[in-house]
Amino acid sequence: MAYIITRLCIDCVDTACVSVCPVDCIYEYVGSNREHFPNQLYIHPDECIDCGACEPECPWQAIFEESAVPEIFKSDIALNYEIREHSGEFQVKKHEQKPKPTPEQVEANKRKWGYTG
């Protein structure tokens, strides 16, 4: 099992998770199929060592252990796994310092995606 980045990351793309990943398994999509692969980060399931370092670092609370992904985000598991078939269209994301969201912004983002957890 791996950790999963859910759609709560879409267009937020904070890289705090990247800065703590010991195996560089967090990627960005650089291909042209943006309709299928939105602007978010993805964890390669075969490279993730399940250390959990990324989860608490995500200021958008978008990362979950695979077994704990909320029902509303279950389809995001398969999307993260698709990196296997499209590996040439992904590259390891570099860490970029960004201002952290406010708690209100995090809650608004959750509501936008229908997540109340």
What is the pairing mode between strands 3-5 and 63-65? antiparallel
Q: What is the pLDDT of residues 44-98, one digit of tens each?
A: 999 999 999 999 999 999 999 999 999 999 999 999 999 999 999 999 999 998 9
> Which CATH number do you get for residue 27?
3.30.70.20
**CB proximity list for 108: less than 8 A, separation 6 or greater:** none
- In whole angstroms, how far apart are CA 9 and each of 31, 82? 18, 17
Provide the whole-model pTM: 0.94
Identify whether 57 is part of a domain: yes
- Over the Cα atoms of the chain, what is R_g? 13
- For the chain, the domain total comes to 1
Supply the range of the domain harboring residue 94: 3-112
Answer yes or no: is pLDDT of 117 > 80. no
